[in-house]
Amino acid sequence: MADRLKSLWHFFFGDSARAFGSMSLILLVLLAISPAKDHFSQWRRYQKQYLHLIRGRADAVTLERHYQGGIQQIWIPEQQVTDRCTTCHLGLKENSLSDVSAVAYRKHPVIPHSLTEFGCTTCHRGQGAATTVQEAHNATEQWEQPLLPAKYIEAGCGQCHLEKQTATPFLNQGRQLIASHGCTRCHTIKQGDATYILPEDDPPSLKHIADKTTREWVYAWIKDPQAYASTATMPNYHFSDDDARDVSAFIMSQSTPLEPPLQPLTAKPNPDPAAGTSLYGQSFCASCHAMQNAAGMMVGGNVGPELTGIGTKAKPEWLADWVANPNHYDPPTMMPHYRFTDEQVATLTSFLESKTEPDFVANVHLDAPTQQQIEHGKRLVLENGCASCHEINGVKKPENFAPELSRIGSKPVSQLLFVEGVDHNLHSYIAAKVGNPRSFGPSLKMPQFKLTPQQVDAITTALLALTDRAATQPPAMRIPSVQQSKYEPAGHAGQLMHDLRCFSCHMINGHGGDMAPDLTWEGTAVQREWLAQFLKNPETLRPALIRRMPKFNLSDADINTLTDYIMTVYQTPEFDRDSLPASELTPAMVEQGRELFYSKFACQSCHIADYAKDKGYIGPALAGTGKRFNAAWLYHWLKDPQSLRPGTIEPNQHMTDDEARALTAFLMSLKSTGAKEVAKK
Amino acid sequence: MKRSLIVVCVIAQLTSGCSHKSKQPTPLKATATGAAIVESSGGKQIGYVGMPLDQPVVVQVNDASGSALAGAAVYFRGPSGVIFTPAAALTDSSGQVTTAVSLGQQAGRYKLVASTRDASGKNIELTLDEIALGYQQTVGAQLNALYCIRCHDPESTPQRVSNMDNLSVKPHAFTEGDTLNKMSDADLVAIISHGGPALNKSAEMPPWGYTLSKSDIAALVSYIRAVADPPYEAGGLVYARAVTELPYPTSKGGSAALQRGVIALFSNIEPGFNPAAHRAARRILQPWNRSQK
């Protein structure tokens, strides 16, 4: 053995010439390692296979001309993007490769951005600089961001697009859910444009809760809010029976009587058993509140709480007080102050009291609370941050109760605590935390929200968009969110509009809801007499809508104040409402307009000009237009509807000035009162 | 004594690696075999890439006399990226199996296959079509819901009353592939942009070209193509070629790892990604890919 080694040594290094030759060989081999590694690298094999693929296709010549070998890179220093994905993903820009089944070579789906300007990892995540499949796509030790699954891809859009875009329905839904479920009452979320996602829910004040409901109901509600109303957004804290007993004891013990106190109801309800139902319908309560009908279907809006079991929840004297004037119990409420007569209040109250869910509190039997239980309840209320959402006497609203989420989308995985069954990456962590927070340990304070898996994914998408890049990129890269303005109308009319909660449904000067038309320029659009009549008795303008303007039973003086204010203040600066006087609209133009209405523009497909023959069901009925609108408004509306009300679905028909004027003349000649015509039919 | 202890420890260490239970699902023990498998609900849904479908897929196994059969094993499979929860189950007392379906990561049509065995051990299969919308089609779907559906939807609900019956010329539902597939993209863009009269059709279809942008209209066309029934077939649009069967099934000697590699190759990245299997799969797929062209 030793002899053989000796002879081998002698063979290679016996004399200086041999040693030199051998060393040269070794050096050569060592030098060859690097090029060989490069030659046999994974990305080269992908490129070879791509060439093989395109050479077999009809447009091989074009594709080959586009092909560039070697490491490809998209480098955008200001975005910290160094993406070598295009080294293997060679067909991203080739239209003809959209039918290739292998992902690596298929064309990128159509998106509004250029791949070279935005890079790949900006939206898809993963490791841009890597040149092997494993490193680029998967989570490795050095790189914790794996590729984002397709269902969260809109998180990429959300880094720059803070506004509500048609193209990103899930991101919009996620942001909306974060607002509507009050996530930001505990978690602060500051977006890239320095605005905050504000909560849009309306958690009631508990300062006078004992006036409103019973301790039994509070107990059952805390145990399982969705058992009372399936649409409730209040989360479930999974309190034990004892804990729920103590929390309800504390909350009720802190309640003080309303000032001035609730008055017992003296008026008698209308004896007609159908009166309550019809008053509920006439007042359009269903525009905001849902209620289960006899068939078990949920009917109504989701602005206010569900009313299916309201009789079990609310005490009759509280309900009557609330129906009469909600400002008394809860001044910040979104509910308008209807001017009901005492009899109407009694009728509506007895109707609502008849909507009960007796099973909800049937098995709740609570003894009078001990001081110890109340103390324990207080501790639970403090520990669980109840006051983050609800006003409670004697409990301060906690500041920053839960971790800030402004950069959650870039949170290092090393800072997260994972539990069994959750994949080791950020998106799985967020989805698990949102969907099932208590799986991270029973001591975790975050409660269980009632969300479908799809809603959990939507919220995860919105949270993943909150990245470091979103927070730090230059403002020019960002499309800022649309924030509500702080507009409040002034004076007596302003107080009236606040009392009627016009802004719960209508938007004016950037402030308000989107359920009903924007009224910013209503004073230019309509005639004074029509507006006064409409406020007195709102007729239905859009037959297809369920949500309608309620009748507030306003006094003539109130109507005058409102009408004067709207007519003088809400005017567009673009044109004068009297700039197209009736004298300029000739009978010949009316005839020409009629022709245009029915033939060239076929307006009757969506609108009704004549109840006898038109059936269009989409836009508002136009049979009474001559009494409703100002001619100048109609003219400008016909020319460009979106300029007067952005987002309206009325198509811009690109009319000439003469056509628009003739159509205006025709529409202004329509002066029937719709309701009567319908009655005649 | 000490040495034997070390040996025991080393052996224990070495074998502990082998004690991981394989995650292969245990085969279902069917108590009955059916004669036919039929769809109850969940076919022809329109979903989004990578997302769960709104409704679960429900299939029913019937016996020779056509009545529902409990205890038959149903297996689901689909193109790469499709996830079934559960992927296999026994039919319940109503003869049905319900599975939640999450579609793959590429836009297009997905053929899902539900299969069961009959008494002779032969596979009987049922195919369901589902549609996954990609980015552009999703934009189209959103615009459709805002503008088009008001007239182009034959379904009328209390929440959204359809205007279709109020029109003198009935508009086509976007799923009417028989009619709409015969129109070129250019024709569709023209009729959306300039209204019905652009193609000598009714003026009840208004022009949208001054309200919607060009990319909006392109998105609408891609949506109309995506939901057409029968499917629209043309080059140039983004469609996944649905891979309903793995090209190298286990019956022909392919290992499970190889199968995973094939799946990985098609869907880019799966949780159990294995680079070696990926390479092996590519070697096998090259000739197969060539044969597909």
The CATH code of the domain at A209-375 is 1.10.760.10
Question: What percent of chain A lies above the pLDDT cut of 90?
Answer: 51
Burial pattern A165-201, b for ≥16 Cβ within 10 A else e, equals: bbbbbbbbbbbbbbbebbbbbbbbbbbbbeeebebee
The answer on pLDDT for A535 being more than 80 is yes
Which of A45, A103, A114 is the mutation pick for testing B, counting most B CBs within 10 A?
Answer: A103
pLDDT in tens, A545-593: 666 788 888 999 999 999 999 999 999 998 988 888 888 888 999 999 9
DSSP secondary structure string, B128-173?
A: EEEEEE-HHHHHHHHHIIIIIHHHH-----SSS---GGGSSSPPPP
C-beta separation of B136 from B218 below 8 A: yes
Asked whether residue B167 is assigned to any structural domain, the reply reads yes
Report the CATH number that the domain containing residue B210 is assigned in CATH: 1.10.760.10
A48, A59, A101, A115, best to mutate vs chain B, most B CBs in 10 Å? A101
Tell me how far CA of residue A532 lies from CA of A526, A628, A670, in angstroms: 10, 11, 19
Which of B133, B168, B183 corresponds to the end of one domain? B133
Residue ranges of chain A assigned to CATH 1.10.760.10: 169-200+401-477, 209-375, 491-569, 582-680
Q: Which pair of tokens denotes residue A338?
A: 């209807």
State pLDDT tens for residues B22-51: 444 556 787 888 888 999 999 889 998 888
Judge whether B232 lies within some domain: no
Q: Is residue B15 part of a domain?
A: no
Q: What residues of A are in contact with residue B102 (Cβ under 8 Å)?
A: 151
| Beta pairing, strands B123-133 & B46-48 | parallel
Residue B263: what pLDDT? 56
Q: Determine the straight-line distance between the first and last CA of chain B, rounded to whole angstroms.
A: 68
Is B242 contained in some domain?
A: no
Q: Do A133 and B278 touch (CB under 8 A)?
A: yes
Q: What is the ipTM of this complex?
A: 0.85
Task: Give mean pLDDT, residues A241-255.
Answer: 93
Beta strands, E only, A445-552: 507-508, 511-512
A 441-500 → B contacts, CB under 8 A: 453-454, 457
Q: Quick count: other Cβ atoms within 10 Å of Cβ A560?
A: 14
What is the CATH T-level fold of the domain A582-680, as seen in this structure? Cytochrome Bc1 Complex; Chain D, domain 2 (1.10.760)
Same domain, yes or no: B221 and B207: yes
**A193 near A481, Cβ under 8 Å?**
yes
Q: Is the peptide bond before B230 cis (omega within 30 degrees of 0)?
A: yes
The tally of domains found in chain B comes to 3
User: In this complex, which of B142, B167, B269 lies closest to A169 when CB atoms are compared?
Assistant: B142
CA distances from A415 to A62, A148, A378, A418, B281 (A): 49, 19, 32, 10, 37
Q: How far apart are CA B182 and CA A59, in angstroms?
A: 26
Select from A102, A97, A72, A74 the least CA-distant residue to A87.
Answer: A72
Q: Which two tokens stand for residue B74?
A: 């149903």
Query: How high is the pLDDT of residue A143?
Result: 67
Contact B222 A103 (CB under 8 A): no
Q: Does B134 contact chain A (CB < 8 Å)?
A: yes
Give the one of A146, A170, A616 whose C-beta lies nearest to B166's C-beta.
A616
Backbone angles phi, psi at A291, to 5 degrees: -150, 140
Judge if B184 and B271 occupy the same domain: no
pLDDT tens readout for residues A441-492: 877 889 999 999 899 999 999 999 999 989 988 888 888 888 888 999 989 9
Q: Which domain holds residue B282?
A: 250-292
The residue type of A472 is T
In chain A, what residues touch B208 (CB-CB under 8 Å)? 651
A-B interface: how many C-beta pairs under 8 angstroms?
A: 144
Residue range A237-265: mean pLDDT, rounded = 90
Is residue B17 one of the residues assigned to a domain? no
Q: What's the CATH number for A169-200+401-477?
A: 1.10.760.10
Q: Around A98, how many Cα atoms within 13 Å sit in the side-chain half-sphere?
A: 15
Output the pLDDT for position A77.
86
Cα–Cα dist A155/A188, whole Å: 19
Q: What does the pLDDT look like over A624-663, one tens digit per residue?
A: 888 899 999 999 999 999 999 888 899 999 999 999 999 9
For chain B, what's the residue count? Answer: 293
Q: Give, in order, the Cα–Cα distances in Å from A542 to each of A517, A549, B161, B266.
A: 11, 11, 11, 51
A662-to-A390, A416, A579, A592, A666 alpha-carbon distances in Å:
58, 68, 15, 6, 6
The segments of chain B whose pLDDT lies below 50 read: 1, 9, 12, 14-24, 235-250, 267-272
Query: Which 25-44 residues of chain B touch chain A by CB within 8 A?
Result: none
Mean predicted lDDT score pLDDT of chain A: 89
Kindly report the number of other CB atoms within 10 A of residue B69's CB atom: 24
Whole-angstrom CA distances from A145 to A103, A125, A424, A470 are 20, 6, 10, 16
Confirm if A310 and A322 have CB atoms less than 8 A apart.
no
Structural domain contains residue B235: no
Of B227, B242, B277, the last residue of a domain is B227
Spatial CB neighbours of B111, under 8 Å, sequence gap ≥ 6: B78, B79, B127, B128, B129, B242, B244
Q: What is the pLDDT of residues A134-188, one digit of tens each?
A: 888 876 666 678 889 888 999 999 999 999 888 899 999 999 999 999 999 999 9
pLDDT digits (tens, 9 = 90+) for B104-160: 888 888 999 998 988 888 888 999 999 999 889 999 999 999 999 989 988 887 777
**pLDDT per residue as tens digits for the range A24-74:** 999 999 999 999 988 888 899 999 999 988 888 888 888 888 998 889 999
Q: How many whole angstroms separate alpha carbon B78 and alpha carbon B112?
A: 5
In a domain, B181, yes or no: yes
Rounded to whole angstroms, the Cα distance separating B23 from B271 reads: 13
Q: How many CB atoms lie within 10 A of CB B223?
A: 23
Rg of chain B, C-alpha, whole Å? 25
Whether B289 sits inside 8 A of A53 (CB atoms) is yes
Q: Residues B40, B129: one domain?
A: yes
CATH number of the domain where residue B99 is located: 2.60.40.10
Fold of A491-569: Cytochrome Bc1 Complex; Chain D, domain 2 (1.10.760)
**Tokens in use for A250?**
């504390």
Q: What radius of gyration do chain A's Cα atoms show?
A: 34
Helix axes A453-464, A169-180, angle to 10 degrees: 100
As a whole number of angstroms, the distance between CA B242 and CA B245 comes to 9
| Set of chain A residues whose Cβ sits within 8 Å of the Cβ of B273 | 133-134, 137-138
Alpha helices by DSSP H, listed for B228-270, are 256-267
Judged by CB atoms closer than 8 Å, whether chains meet at A110 and B166 is answered as: no
Give the per-residue pLDDT at B106. 82
Query: What six digits make up the tokens of A200?
Result: 């849009």
pLDDT of residue B2: 52
Q: Are residues B108 and B190 in the same domain?
A: no
What is the pLDDT at residue A79?
Answer: 81
For position A322, what pLDDT does the model report?
94
Domain shared by B194 and B149, yes or no:
yes
| Alpha-carbon span A233 to A177, nearest angstrom | 10
B83: β partners: B102
For A167, the token pair is 């193209």
| Residue from A41, A45, A115, A166 to probe the interface with B (highest B Cβ count within 10 Å) | A166
Give me the residues of A, 42-61, that contact B with CB < 8 A.
Answer: 45, 49, 52-53, 56-57
Interface test with A, best of B191, B204, B288 (most A CBs within 10 A): B204
Closest Cα to residue A53, out of A104, A93, A9, A11? A104
- Amino acid identity, residue B77? R
Q: What is the pLDDT of residue A500?
A: 93
In a domain, B19, yes or no: no
Cα separation, B46 vs B174, in Å, equals 12
B111 and B141 belong to one structural domain: no
What digits encode the pLDDT tens for the residues A109-136?
888 898 888 999 999 998 888 888 888 8
